[in-house]
Amino acid sequence: MVEFVNGMVNLDKLEVTDIIEVNILQDFLDNFALGMNCAAVSVDREGREITSPSYYREFCSNYIHMSNIGDARCASCHNEMGIKAVRTGRPHIGKCHADLIDFACPIVVRGRHLGTVLGGQILDSPPKEKEIRKVSKELNLNGDELWTAADKIDIVPMKNIQAAAEVLHIVVNALAENGFNRLETEVLSKELANNFNQISKTIETLTSSAQDMSASQNELSHKITEVSSVTKEISEILKSIAKIISQTKLLGLNASIEAARLGNDGRTFAVVAKEIHSLAQSSNDTVVKIDILNDQIREKIGYTIQDSNIALKTSQQQTVDMENLQKMVQDSVVVAKNLEEMF
């Protein structure tokens, strides 16, 4: 199970099997061992086998590993060689406790050791009977049988063994690196898709808000236009009132003339005429003030309409931009999901 820390792969918990398919690694080691006339097996960082042994020699599988002592010594040799290989980051070639040549290739990703591929169970020169019989005694094995099995081991020139170890190291680490890159890309594509989904939802909300704001701005512009029409109506009403006031003034003037003609008999009528004249004058002053205020209101409304139209156009453009951005993000979500499905 791959573990993540802050969106990154936790290399301390990463296993070889997380980045290389076991069947692919097994096929490669089987073919490598057959082609290079050697044995091979892969183990994790704890030394546990990941793949089944590939072409183990009879000398090892039927004799050395049949002895508890021999099996323990093999495990110790593998561990020691693995440590040396990890320390250098390169293949390590050496002799095992049974005088055979083995090599270890570390599997390293981003500087972290994940496992080791072990190869060998070969010789670069004919086996030494004295050494083989010594091993048989130490492991309580039949000396003649062990010597016969040793005589069947392939003899390979050291330069070929070195080349085989190098090939094994290059190929296995390339598989590990490609697998890790695939894993990282898969993780990042999932995270990218999730982020784009979140962004898409946010933009969808913002687009809806922009559309509502555009509609509200349009409604406001319409209401302001209606207010402008009302001020025009007020202006027309004031003109009518001004005519009435003018006629009232004329009526008051006529009443004053008639009161003067009547003399003492027209004094009461003169008072009424004076009040009519005063009322007409006062009404006229009020109408003038209202007309001035109405003109100012109309002027302000004109500026407001201009600003409202600009805001409306900006809001409409923002809505279009948000819709385009939402489409781009949705397209990016599709790309991210397609990328994720590639792995």
Residues 161, 155: Cα–Cα separation, whole Å: 10
- Is residue 20 one of the residues assigned to a domain? yes
pLDDT tens-digit readout, 317-340: 767 766 776 676 666 666 666 655
> Quick one: angle between helices 158-262 and 267-341, nearest 10?
170
Q: Give the residue with greater pLDDT, 122 vs 267.
A: 122
Same structural domain, 150 and 197: no
Same structural domain, 123 and 234: no
What is the Cα gyration radius of the chain?
50
Q: pTM above the 0.75 mark?
A: no
Same structural domain, 16 and 99: yes
- Nearest residue to 145 via CA among 64, 201, 200: 64
Query: What is the pLDDT at residue 136?
Result: 92
Same structural domain, 22 and 141: yes
Structural domain count, the chain = 2
Same structural domain, 277 and 143: no
Instruction: Please give the single-letter amino acid code of residue 342.
Output: M
CATH code of 258's domain:
1.10.287.950
Query: What is the pLDDT at residue 8?
Result: 74
pLDDT above 70 as % of the chain? 60
pLDDT at position 51 over 90:
yes
Same structural domain, 143 and 206: no
State the pLDDT confidence band at 242, using cuts at 50, 70 and 90.
Answer: low
Same structural domain, 44 and 139: yes
State the pLDDT confidence band at 209, using cuts at 50, 70 and 90.
Answer: low
Please write down the HEC assignment for all residues of the chain. Answer: CCCEECCEECCCCCCHHHHCCHHHHHHHHHHHHHHHCCEEEEEECCCCECCCCECCCHHHHHHHHHCHHHHHHHHHHHHHHHHHHHHHCCCEEEECCCCCEEEEEEEEECCEEEEEEEEEEEECCCCCHHHHHHHHHHCCCCHHHHHHHHCCCCECCHHHHHHHHHHHHHHHHHHHHHHHHHHHHHHHHHHHHHHHHHHHHHHHHHHHHHHHHHHHHHHHHHHHHHHHHHHHHHHHHHHHHHHHHHHHHHHHHHHHHHHHHHHHHHHHHHHHHHHHHHHHHHHHHHHHHHHHHHHHHHHHHHHHHHHHHHHHHHHHHHHHHHHHHHHHHHHHHHHHHHHHHCC
Question: Does residue 255 contact residue 276 with C-beta atoms inside 8 Å?
Answer: yes
Same structural domain, 122 and 68: yes
Same structural domain, 10 and 146: yes
Residues 185, 19: Cα–Cα separation, whole Å: 12
Burial of 84 (0-12, 13-18, 19+ CB in 10 A): middle
Averaged pLDDT for residues 250-275? 63
Same structural domain, 283 and 203: yes
- Is residue 234 one of the residues assigned to a domain? yes
Q: Give the residue with greater pLDDT, 40 vs 111.
A: 40
Query: What is the pLDDT at residue 10?
Result: 81
State the pLDDT confidence band at 277, using cuts at 50, 70 and 90.
Answer: low
- Is residue 188 one of the residues assigned to a domain? no
- Is residue 167 one of the residues assigned to a domain? no
pLDDT at position 42 over 90:
yes
pLDDT at position 211 over 80:
no
- Is residue 281 one of the residues assigned to a domain? yes
pLDDT at position 88 over 60:
yes
* Domain containing residue 289: 193-341
CATH code of 68's domain:
3.30.450.20
Same structural domain, 20 and 144: yes
Averaged pLDDT for residues 212-228? 65
- Is residue 241 one of the residues assigned to a domain? yes
Same structural domain, 137 and 245: no
Residues 210, 207: Cα–Cα separation, whole Å: 5
Q: What is the mean pLDDT of the chain?
A: 79
In angstroms, how far is CA 326 from the centroid of its own chain? Answer: 16
pLDDT above 90 as % of the chain? 37
- Is residue 182 one of the residues assigned to a domain? no
pLDDT at position 50 over 90:
yes
Query: What is the pLDDT at residue 87?
Result: 87
Q: Which of 128, 156, 184 is the last residue of a domain?
A: 156
Question: Does residue 184 contact residue 321 with C-beta atoms inside 8 Å?
Answer: no
Averaged pLDDT for residues 295-299? 71
- Is residue 35 one of the residues assigned to a domain? yes
Averaged pLDDT for residues 234-243? 68
